[in-house]
Amino acid sequence: MQLSKSLRRVIYWELGIPLALLSIGIYHGLMQVIYRAGVLQQPSFAKLDYYQGLTLHGVINAIVLTTFFAVAFGHATIAFFLKKEPNKKLAWLSFWLMTIGTLMAAWAMLAGKASVLYTFYPPLKAHPFFYLGTALLIVGSWIPLFDWSRLYRQWRKENPDTKTPLAVLGTLVNFIIWFVCTLAAAYEVLVLLLPWAMGWKQTVNVTLARTLFWFFGHALVYFWLLPAYIMFYNFLPKLAGGKLFSDLAGRIALFGFLLFSVPVGVHHQFSDPSITKGVKIFQSLLTFGVAIPSFITAFTLAASLEYAGRKRGAKGLLGFFGKLPYLDQNRYLFAYMISGLFLFIFGGLTGIVNSSSELNAVVHNTAWLPGHFHMTVAGPVFLAIIGMSLYIYSKNSGKKVFMPKVAVIIPYLWVIGILIFSTGLSWGGLLGEPRRTNLGMTYLNPKNELFTPEWVPTTTLALLGGIIMFIAGMLFLVVFFGTMLKKQTEAAMLEFPVSENLHNERRIPLFDSFKPWLVTMAVVLVIAYVPAFLDATKNPGPGAPRFTPDNPVPVSTTLKTDALQTPALGDKTASAATVNK
């Protein structure tokens, strides 16, 4: 399919801008492990503070990159599978709102006025531009959903008895989840945090803000993941040389995420005393439920890959693994997907630990947590994003991939790095190593009285893995932008390696209609979150004054001027302490 020039440009910009910003995110990822391993024993480097870099790393990689890509990939899948282009004016409006919002938030972070970490929890306070920018990014990302829904309804009227293409179903499910969960984030940002940041309010309800954030924050994980799931079901079997074992399994999994992905955010608040135990237990059970779609996907994809391997002559129980096209330069996208799928096994297993209230108490706010979510965000999510970004740009521009031999090796180099990196973090977490903290200031500084030698091997492992990941990430940027600079040598066509279905499964209306699932989703959300929000409003505790991430003492404030002054502390530990909640 050949896209119009306007839509093609929107997609190019939505892929190019976040990947250019990714260079900043990758750099600060490397700096984090350097600080934490004690190589740097200072609060800042190159005029960028540790916590400033931590915020840049989290926001760019986990929010900006993923949101821009999801919109670009959504435009491509909707246009390709429905054979209808989105409204170009709305697409450009969406792009500019997201871009302006990103620039506003980026200015606040680079200026050192928004060192509030990825979670932007109060009582950490950012510049109003950070919150306004976040709101614009979110609102801009809503616009395509309503336009795609219009196209889908048109297509459904024209094809009443045809199955909705699985990729279209996945795209709409993903953005419905995103719209619902970001309503809470928008309310938190616009109603609670922005007036507080502008000095109109002296304090903020921290518990309510956190509950609203995790209503958004955990569902965000599935907003990251579902584009990868769409690729796994629709493209991976074809790239492997086989067929999709079950289209119906994919539909069940996608609707399962619609039900379970949003109402489980409270499991991030198991240590929050304001949330009652009954709410936490119920949310823990729901969290185990969200593993079901992942298990369905694991078995379906394993069967699809086995079929592909046996079709290529594989024998024995696991012989099909040896017949897959791991290093085929013409199918480099397979390398990115299979590597992400492998990492997701470990991400899912470590995530189950976090879902249990009792086990979570052991690992809460330790390095175990980033060890877990890097297996997911930096595993299938990141690899699917960069692999598909390269694929869409190359096909849609008619340019061959720059350094194809390097392109196909990058995901395997990344896997090696992430396994070493996350092993170091997870091991350190079990030994009590805190997350987020600048360990080089105290705990990994041999001259400090708080020096903790048992964390030396764990942080060294994380440093080694981080260096390998940095090399892989920079190699990808060379490949991607090198491809952009090449001359067009082929026809510019939007093309996807669409998988055929192994079985001719009949259309089941329940799994090809949104209405019953949306109603059920609303019911589950009410049951899961009304008690949590009641707890947050009934048990808020005293309003919290402003804190900074590098100091355990609140910043002094006055009611009229809200003047900010950081108290001078003689305690050596003050510079390493952080507000981790």
DSSP string, 225-286: HHHHHHHHHHTHHHHHTS-BS-HHHHHHHHHHHHHHSSTTGGGGGTT-TTS-HHHHHHHHHH
Of the listed 267, 331, 364, 372, which one is catalytic? 372
Of the listed 374, 480, 496, 511, which one is catalytic? 374
57 assigned to active site: no
Which regions in the chain score pLDDT beneath 50?
558-581
74, 217, 419, 54 alpha-carbon torsion, rounded to 10°:
110
CA distance to 135, 213, 228, 446, 511, per residue, from 217 (Å) = 15, 6, 18, 37, 27
Q: Where are the domains of the chain?
A: 1-229+513-529, 356-494
Which element (helix H / strand E) includes 49? strand 48-49
| Domain 1-229+513-529, CATH number (from 3.40.50.300, 3.30.300.30, 3.90.1150.10, 1.20.210.10) | 1.20.210.10
Of the listed 127, 218, 364, 546, which one is catalytic? 218
| Nearest-angstrom CA–CA distance, 34 and 575 | 17
546 assigned to active site: no
| CA distance from start to end of the chain | 48
Of the listed 75, 127, 268, 436, which one is catalytic? 436
50 assigned to active site: no
Asked if the peptide bond before residue 457 counts as cis, ω within 30 degrees of 0, the response is: no
| Nearest-angstrom CA–CA distance, 207 and 213 | 10
Model pTM score: 0.92
How many whole angstroms from its chain centre is CA 544? 29
What pLDDT score was predicted for residue 556?
Answer: 60
Q: How many CA atoms lie within 13 A of 493 on its CB side?
A: 7
267 assigned to active site: no
436 assigned to active site: yes
With CA atoms as reference, report the closest residue to 408 among 337, 471, 307: 337
Of the listed 175, 222, 223, 393, which one is catalytic? 222
